[in-house]
Amino acid sequence: MELESLPPKDLARVTKRIDGLAADPRPPGCEKLPGQHRYRVRQGDYRILYEVDDLRLAVTIVKIGHRREVYP
């Protein structure tokens, strides 16, 4: 899903949530996905899937999508 395709209200919230991951990549409410090195945070009806590289101090957004569509 392209960020630009989100409704403006949801886009602002998702963007704010992503910005927050820079300060705290494992915020309260995040979940590690079973059998993967990925995490998931919720933002309304959307899910943000991401990876954390503690050695490089980097967060990589893997996928953003509606909760019905984001999981494989």
Helix (H) or strand (E) holding 14: helix 8-23
Which class for 38: exposed (0-12), middle (13-18), buried (19 or more C-beta within 10 A)? Answer: middle
pLDDT digits (tens, 9 = 90+) for 13-61: 999 999 999 999 999 999 999 999 999 999 999 999 999 999 999 999 9
Quote the pTM value.
0.90
Domain ranges of the chain: 8-66
Q: Identify the residue with better confidence: 21 or 6.
A: 21
pLDDT at 1: 62
Contacts of 33 (CB under 8 A, 6+ apart): 39, 40, 49
Distance CA 44, CA 42 (A): 6
Q: Which fold has domain 8-66?
A: YaeB-like fold (3.30.2310)
